């Protein structure tokens, strides 16, 4: 028998162990695994029974599902779970440890009747034990709808005492949030309710002032243990058109007082209430957010960019796939959208909105850019750091029992069933019909925070793609291991309990608060460390009909030692230094003090300051023109060229004067610098209203007499080319008086975007390039751009001589002259829609297009401006090309471009422009069936059903088309780009932070704003005249990008001092009284002026 010697034993041991270690290192369990209900004991299933009396036709929120609330009801240190049931009883599961839970519902006295919706745990009677408040709704009588308050008897039983506390509200309630709004030390309550009747008229002003006690939201003040409805006095709307589905409490404007965001389904808008600090609230939505979700469902807040400010997510019902989008989308209904806005509803777009806090009390929706806008019929969004990397990720539940959003059902199914039924001599049974609708379970969605304002879908890789009809959900640390597990209430299915297998450093906070608020609701925790800044607030109500534990969680990534600050609602503070990761801190109110210095970040002094009185007293009044009425398939209007300014000395006094271009129907104006002010010139170049939008102006010496003459172009998209789109030259008499030049150039009709003078042939006079925009009414056709050569004050068309390609240059938006190859001859750069930045190098024989594949001309986009500046101080010009940005439904890359197919497909005299983009690996038209059929009538016979259209590609739609006769334009990059000049006409792209991609950039300038000797960049833009199904692009507020050694960093608006939330189209510097002012002009705006503050550090 072989005896194994110790040495060999060790050898064999290692032989076994090493692979084991290796495989362990290689094996990574998925972030989550779904636990087995048989093992956890959590068998809750929100089962629905529909019958003749109780069904979705009789109660429209029948399929809205239940919620979950988490909390330690027996104070044993383990998180227990309470599920609400609609048609079944609510259930309480006590956490026994080791992933085993016991259903104690009956013993605890929590068996319920009626239709429960949301629930929250709060210590309402202030005894240190969590009570459970249950909201109820449904088509029940008021008695069976009253909300319930189960007071914890401290022995695993509860006693219902809502009436005693004044909380037995009979409204149709969705959810409640307990928090101390008046900061008097006890918990007050916001009650979110919903209507059960349909409202379709738009008389908001009338309806808002009404109070419907069953449908309107309410605020209850805690008066020594009894709750009093103070909604009216506090300024909380309680109107009958409210369909509240989500409420978020947070200090959104960072003033120390908790604010309220509540959502509303259907037409009524969401509300954002700022706490005035005196017991009242002010509804600020129209100011604070440029748009919201439309069918707003659940909501949550968090800090997605770790700037210490609360951001917000609202769930809606936009599907992600092409097919589901096409089945859902009907006609555009522009007028209905406009009418709602006119009546006082806010701009509302059907999509999840992710509202980024701009540090100035306002928010910008970046949901499209972040990649989280389309999660189908969604209920609970939850922002939580699921992988403990220090950044909050996003989990969204979704699913709806019946496929309601199906246009074929709307249009055809009912009558087909009617026909069938009548042939049997029966009446059609609508409920039966509803039950025949497809029932499609969908997986929930989980997104990882990329730390840069974007998210990546991890539903599959984190093993969370189990389909279901999921509604309320919470995160909770069920095993006290420092990572967040997820619990989801499902309709007609066992609840999902996901165990988090992740690692990563963490801190968990529990609270030992003062009497009145022992669980520390409203307490804020700030964590600082190396490359780490995390703020969390303890407001348990979150997501949809659900509430998390009164605890806070923070993933710390690789940080091990951090400083922690705890701010209690009463202002007392505690700071803990050098706290070690991976522990639970019990924050005690008695350890906190007054006047403890804060370690929280402060907001710097703004670098720029807006002039109280604008330097240029000009306002751009835009004529109304709805491009979509004439060209119904346009993505955005081309008629609003927006104001441009030309700045130069016109009267020879050495001071800069300003010419301000006005819109169609208005008079453009010349302002003269006089006594340190810009005043209207007594002698105006134009004494009549503009025939079209004056799209650009240039002041330069055209006739060689030493003064600046005025060259203007007209543009826009509103009328026939023959009606006033004629560039004009006005000659200066040296005193600033302008007289139209006669026969200065050939008759040119051009809807122009820009005029750019330069001495193209180095003969000492100024020649010009005029860029052609879209041919009015003929998108995407464009006319000829022009090069006009100055011959003694007369301009001749030399376009063909320089480059015949300019005759069909496309829809040019901006152009610049620059000597790119060092031969002193100006070279031309221009850009526009559906094109790259194109470079035309001038040589001996005219101009030659240079294709710079790696740099500027490599990628086509929807560029709207091209701004030169020397970023790196190397003496040559770099260029900022303002593009559409990434915060829109459009996505484009070189492998998956966006295409524009255009032709008069049906020969009816109008061009049919069809944009197609990739969904997955297939390129589909983006237009809805109804909108396409309205444009190309002949297709009505082919696509009678939406399902026939849903999967069609452009090629399927026009199967017999001669594609060689169809224009196909392409966009491969929608990012705003900074191109760095490498010499010889070669450029490379410098990467800009995502803040620069949040909005269409339409104007920009280079300047050293923070005085560090490096050139910084200021961007502005936005686009509001966009078709409603694409959605207005309004996330821009003016952006300062500071040049740092590593690249570019976005300054918050509080730091930049900029606030330009409108559609800004031009910015230029002006020197006035030895001060440099940045003038920024926008559509419908007074010209804004900023100067750089001195001595700001």
> By the criterion CB under 8 A, which residues form the site for another protein?
56-57, 60-61, 198, 200-203, 206-207, 295, 317, 331, 333-336, 339-340, 342, 400, 402, 404-405, 409-415, 418, 422, 427, 434, 626, 628-630, 632, 908-910, 937, 940-941, 944
Q: Nearest distance from residue 422's CB to another protein, in Å?
A: 6
Instruction: Pick between residue 823 and residue 904 the one whose CB is nearest to another protein.
Output: 904
Task: Kindly list the strands in the beta sheet with 393-398, ordered across the sheet, starting from the edge strand earlier in the chain.
Answer: 378-384, 393-398, 445-449, 455-457
Instruction: Pick between residue 441 and residue 1014 the one whose CB is nearest to another protein.
Output: 441
Q: Nearest distance from residue 326's CB to another protein, in Å?
A: 17
DSSP 8-state assignment for residue 1074: T
Distance CA 1017, CA 158 (A): 62
Q: Are 864 and 1025 in contact (CB under 8 A)?
A: no
Q: Nearest distance from residue 1025's CB to another protein, in Å?
A: 14
Q: Which three-class secondary structure state does DSSP give residue 232?
A: helix
Instruction: Pick between residue 711 and residue 943 the one whose CB is nearest to another protein.
Output: 943
Q: Nearest distance from residue 419's CB to another protein, in Å?
A: 8
Instruction: Pick between residue 335 and residue 653 the one whose CB is nearest to another protein.
Output: 335
Instruction: Pick between residue 437 and residue 1096 the one whose CB is nearest to another protein.
Output: 437
Q: Nearest distance from residue 418's CB to another protein, in Å?
A: 8
Q: Nearest distance from residue 378's CB to another protein, in Å?
A: 13
Q: Nearest distance from residue 421's CB to another protein, in Å?
A: 10
Q: Nearest distance from residue 719's CB to another protein, in Å?
A: 12
Instruction: Pick between residue 335 and residue 1008 the one whose CB is nearest to another protein.
Output: 335
Instruction: Pick between residue 269 and residue 728 the one whose CB is nearest to another protein.
Output: 269
Residue whose C-alpha is closest to residue 645's, from 1085, 186, 80: 1085
Q: Look at the alpha carbons of 20, 25, 30, 33 in this order and tell me if their dihedral is positive or negative.
A: positive
Q: Nearest distance from residue 415's CB to another protein, in Å?
A: 5
Q: Which three-class secondary structure state does DSSP give residue 837?
A: coil
Q: Nearest distance from residue 416's CB to another protein, in Å?
A: 9
Instruction: Pick between residue 166 and residue 331 the one whose CB is nearest to another protein.
Output: 331
Instruction: Pick between residue 425 and residue 654 the one whose CB is nearest to another protein.
Output: 425
Q: Between the CA of residue 771 and those of 693, 807, 1066, what are the distances in Å? A: 15, 10, 17
Distance CA 813, CA 640 (A): 12
Q: Nearest distance from residue 929's CB to another protein, in Å?
A: 12
Residues with Cβ within 8 Å of residue 566, at least 6 apart in sequence: 509, 523, 524, 525, 573, 574, 575, 576, 587, 592
Distance CA 939, CA 921 (A): 25
Q: Nearest distance from residue 760's CB to another protein, in Å?
A: 41
Instruction: Pick between residue 226 and residue 940 the one whose CB is nearest to another protein.
Output: 940
Q: Which two tokens stand for residue 569?
A: 């609602």
Q: Nearest distance from residue 208's CB to another protein, in Å?
A: 10
Element containing residue 1039 per DSSP (H, E) = strand 1039-1044
**Strand pairing category for 1039-1044 and 173-179:** unpaired
Residues with Cβ within 8 Å of residue 203, at least 6 apart in sequence: 343
Q: Nearest distance from residue 937's CB to another protein, in Å?
A: 5
Residue whose C-alpha is closest to residue 659's, from 672, 645, 678: 645
Taking phi over 0 as left and psi of -120 to 50 as alpha, with beta for the rest, 716 belongs to left
Residues with Cβ within 8 Å of residue 672, at least 6 apart in sequence: 650, 651, 657, 678, 679, 680, 681, 736
Distance CA 301, CA 254 (A): 13
Distance CA 338, CA 634 (A): 17
Residue whose C-alpha is closest to residue 753's, from 863, 650, 665: 863
Question: Beta-carbon neighbour count of residue 670 at 10 Å?
Answer: 26
Instruction: Pick between residue 17 and residue 336 the one whose CB is nearest to another protein.
Output: 336
Instruction: Pick between residue 316 and residue 389 the one whose CB is nearest to another protein.
Output: 316
Instruction: Pick between residue 261 and residue 295 the one whose CB is nearest to another protein.
Output: 295
Residue whose C-alpha is closest to residue 469's, from 406, 403, 400: 400
Q: Nearest distance from residue 490's CB to another protein, in Å?
A: 19
Instruction: Pick between residue 333 and residue 896 the one whose CB is nearest to another protein.
Output: 333
Instruction: Pick between residue 201 and residue 955 the one whose CB is nearest to another protein.
Output: 201
Q: Between the CA of residue 244 and those of 173, 216, 239, 743, what are the distances in Å? A: 8, 8, 11, 66
Residue whose C-alpha is closest to residue 298's, from 541, 551, 25: 541
SS3 letters across 167-206 = CCCCCCEEEEEEECCCCCCCCEEEEEEECCCCCCCCCHHH
């Amino acid at each position: 028998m072989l005896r194994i010697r110790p040495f060999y034993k060790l050898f064999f041991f290692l032989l076994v162990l090493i692979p084991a270690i290796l495989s362990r290192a290689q094996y990574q369990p998925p972030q989550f695994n779904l636990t087995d209900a048989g093992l956890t004991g959590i068998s809750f299933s929100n089962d629905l029974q529909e019958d003749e009396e109780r069904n979705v036709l009789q109660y429209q929120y029948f399929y809205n599902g239940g919620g979950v609330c988490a909390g330690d009801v027996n104070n044993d240190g383990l998180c227990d779970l309470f599920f609400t049931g609609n048609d079944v009883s609510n259930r309480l599961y006590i956490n026994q440890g080791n992933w085993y839970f016991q259903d104690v519902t009956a013993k605890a006295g929590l068996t319920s009747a009626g239709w429960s919706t949301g629930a929250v745990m709060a210590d309402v009677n202030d005894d240190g034990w969590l009570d459970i408040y249950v909201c109820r709704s449904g088509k029940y009588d008021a008695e069976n709808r009253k909300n319930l308050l189960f007071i914890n008897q401290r022995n695993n039983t509860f006693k219902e005492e809502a009436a005693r506390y004044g909380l037995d509200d009979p409204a149709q309630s969705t959810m409640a949030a307990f928090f101390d709004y008046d900061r008097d030390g006890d918990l007050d309550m916001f009650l979110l309710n919903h209507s059960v009747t349909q409202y379709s008229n738009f008389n908001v002003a009338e309806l808002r002032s009404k109070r419907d006690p069953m449908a309107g939201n309410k605020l209850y003040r805690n008066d020594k243990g009894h709750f009093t409805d103070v909604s009216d006095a506090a300024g909380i709307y309680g109107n009958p058109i409210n369909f509240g589905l989500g409420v978020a409490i947070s200090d959104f404007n960072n003033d120390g007082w908790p604010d309220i965001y509540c959502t509303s389904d259907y037409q009524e808008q969401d509300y954002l209430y700022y706490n005035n600090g005196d017991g009242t609230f002010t509804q600020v939505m129209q100011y604070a957010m440029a748009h919201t979700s439309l069918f707003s469902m659940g909501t949550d807040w968090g800090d997605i960019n770790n700037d210490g400010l609360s951001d917000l997510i609202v769930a809606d019902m936009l599907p992600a796939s092409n097919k589901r989008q096409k089945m859902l989308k009907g006609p555009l209904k522009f007028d209905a959208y406009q009418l709602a806005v006119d009546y006082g509803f806010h701009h509302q777009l059907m999509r999840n909105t992710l509202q980024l806090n701009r540090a100035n009390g306002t928010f910008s929706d970046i949901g499209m850019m972040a990649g989280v806008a389309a999660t189908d019929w969604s209920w609970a969004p939850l922002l939580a750091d699921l992988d403990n990397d220090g950044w909050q990720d996003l989990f969204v539940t979704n699913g709806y029992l019946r496929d309601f959003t199906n246009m074929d059902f709307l249009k055809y199914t009912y009558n087909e069933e009617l026909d069938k039924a009548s042939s049997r001599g029966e009446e059609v049974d609508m409920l039966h019909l509803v039950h025949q609708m497809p029932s499609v379970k969908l997986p929930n969605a989980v997104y990882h925070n990329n730390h840069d304002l974007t998210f990546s879908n991890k539903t599959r890789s984190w093993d969370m793609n189990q389909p279901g009809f999921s509604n309320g959900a919470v995160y909770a640390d069920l095993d006290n291991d420092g990572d967040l597990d997820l619990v989801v209430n499902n309709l007609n299915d066992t609840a999902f309990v996901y165990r988090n297998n992740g690692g990563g450093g963490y801190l968990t906070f529990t609270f030992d608060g003062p009497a009145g608020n022992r669980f520390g609701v409203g307490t804020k925790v700030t964590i600082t460390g190396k490359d780490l800044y995390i703020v969390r607030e303890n407001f348990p109500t979150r997501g949809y009909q659900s509430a998390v534990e009164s605890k806070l969680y923070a993933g710390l990534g690789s940080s091990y030692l951090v400083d922690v600050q705890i701010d209690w609602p009463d202002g007392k503070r505690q700071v803990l230094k050098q706290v070690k990761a991976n522990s639970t801190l019990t924050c005690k109110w008695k350890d906190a003090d007054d006047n403890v210095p804060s370690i929280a970040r402060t907001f710097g002094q703004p670098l720029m300051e807006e002039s109280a009185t604008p330097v240029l007293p000009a306002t751009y009044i835009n004529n109304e023109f709805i491009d979509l009425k004439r060209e119904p398939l346009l993505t955005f209007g081309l008629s609003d060229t927006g104001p441009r300014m030309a700045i130069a000395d016109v009267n020879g006094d050495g001071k800069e004067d300003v010419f301000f271009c006005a819109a169609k129907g208005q008079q453009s104006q010349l302002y003269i610098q006089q006594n340190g002010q810009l005043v209207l010139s007594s002698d105006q170049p134009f004494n009549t209203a503009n025939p079209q939008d004056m799209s650009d102006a240039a002041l330069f010496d055209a006739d060689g007499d030493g003064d600046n003459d005025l060259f203007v172009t007209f543009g826009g998209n509103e009328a026939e080319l023959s009606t006033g789109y004629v560039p004009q030259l006005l000659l200066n008499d040296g005193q600033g008086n302008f007289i139209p030049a006669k026969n200065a150039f050939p008759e040119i009709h051009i809807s122009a975007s820009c005029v750019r003078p330069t001495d193209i042939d180095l003969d000492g006079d100024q020649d010009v390039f005029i860029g052609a925009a879209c041919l009015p009414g003929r998108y995407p056709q464009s006319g000829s751009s022009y090069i006009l050569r100055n011959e003694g004050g007369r301009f001749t068309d030399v376009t063909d001589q320089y480059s015949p390609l300019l005759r069909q240059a496309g829809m040019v938006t901006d152009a610049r002259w620059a000597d790119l190859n060092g031969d002193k001859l100006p070279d031309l750069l221009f850009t526009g829609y559906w094109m790259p930045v194109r470079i035309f190098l001038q040589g001996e024989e005219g101009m030659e297009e240079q294709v710079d594949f790696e740099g500027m001309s490599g990628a086509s986009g929807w560029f709207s401006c091209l701004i030169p500046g020397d970023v790196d101080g190397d003496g040559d010009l770099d260029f900022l090309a303002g593009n559409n940005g990434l915060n829109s439904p459009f996505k484009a890359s070189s492998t998956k471009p966006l295409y524009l197919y255009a032709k008069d497909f049906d020969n009816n005299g109008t061009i049919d422009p069809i944009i197609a983009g990739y969904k997955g690996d297939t390129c589909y038209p983006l237009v809805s069936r109804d909108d396409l059929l309205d444009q190309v009538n002949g297709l009505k016979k082919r696509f009678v059903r939406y399902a026939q259209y849903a999967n069609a590609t452009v090629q399927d739609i026009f199967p017999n088309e001669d594609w060689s006769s169809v224009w196909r334009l392409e966009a491969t990059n929608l990012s705003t780009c900074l191109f760095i000049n490498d010499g010889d006409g070669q450029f490379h792209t410098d990467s800009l932070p995502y803040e620069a991609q949040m909005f269409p950039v339409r104007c920009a300038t280079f300047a050293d704003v923070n005085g560090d000797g490096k050139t910084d960049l200021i961007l502005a833009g936005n686009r509001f005249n966009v078709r409603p199904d694409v959605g207005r692009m309004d996330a821009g507020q003016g952006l300062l990008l500071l040049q740092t050694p590593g690249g570019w960093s976005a300054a918050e608006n509080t730091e930049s001092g900029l606030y330009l939330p409108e559609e800004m189209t031009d910015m230029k510097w002006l020197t006035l009284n030895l001060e440099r002012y940045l003038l920024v002009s926008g559509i419908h705006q007074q010209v804004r002026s900023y100067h750089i503050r001195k001595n700001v550090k």
